[in-house]
Structure 1
């Protein structure tokens, strides 16, 4: 028997746990990996308080992270839900205890749609043709969506996205308040499509590493200056980080930890204004950024 699949209704929002997408009418937001994991753990708690320690262990298994990372993740969730810590409607903070989901929650089973049997041969031919066209269209749409990566800024005002643009891939931003779309950068298809925001909404870091190269490449786009900083470091361990242009970049390799679980590792990169960027790897490919 096939396993049943569910969506979760959280007040006016619907979460698809498979795609990590939240929808509310025509609005759709793709949650980042850790944000989705934290939300799912809050859902599983079913209105009960879940401690920060337990959330960290379940959302970041085998990874050393601070409570500050969890607090920022919960803050991102609140911005998506347009929630308030002072007057919460979705996520409640219990000082020195943890968090709990207080919004109305409902588990909804996804209905399976069956294809009706077509009795006449002539209708069968047309039915098969229409079905083939529909499947082709769905595959195209799926591939198109699978190649796109969207992230919401910490202040909830801008969506950054990486998607295919002709023969290349491109970084776009869309201002939610006025619908304005900007093309920020264009590059060859990276070996993994990953991006994230800085906590102050001023920078977007994204992966431009090519599978054929023997080094990792990261770009940081500053929305205030419209400048791109280029960070490059070798894929083999034991070598120091080296920066490409601009030459005044302060980035350097601080530390690298190889975690035995799930073949994951993390690079800590010191950036401007004492910021630290964590580059997370899985199977030797960049899987996420934490600013």
Structure 2
């Protein structure tokens, strides 16, 4: 990947020199003004940017009206419609702000009361998933006295789900697995008391790990 390609979030890349945004291998072309605007907004993430500044950034050698800015912002917004993690908000009377709501653990359903515990467990689960992925035989469903795995051979993707022997996959976990379009290994675990469930996803193609946390009463 070229030097001026910036990873915005999982499977979303901004190619400054190529004038494009790539989302899940789909290329979205940008014009020069949109490139300048998006680059500036990414460098000033979570900062409210007034319209006058954005016009100067997007059209450094031209005088344009706010309608040109609004058109370009809406165009950039439309590109990210399929990714809920990237948003451009309108701040009435002030301007715009770009937010990347996906945290760097990715698609994480956040609850402050459990944040420290969840991060610690996430680290352990990720380490376990990587170890299991690299060591267990692909044709053996029995792993140990504690874990087994299930294979889903879809038309386009092969998925392996690792889970404790005394647990099964609830519908909301199956739905989340189906949403991930990749040849991935999943690790599912429920905490004692079922206060929250966690699904860790390892994508070997992108060498990326995603953690989904479902608090009690959320997404179930």
What's the TM-score, normalizing by structure 1? 0.32
Between Structure 1 and Structure 2, the one with more strand by share is 1
Between Structure 1 and Structure 2, the one with more helix by share is 2
What's the TM-score, normalizing by structure 2? 0.41
Flag the structure with more relative contact order, 1 or 2, with Cα contacts below 8 A and sequence separation at least 6: 2
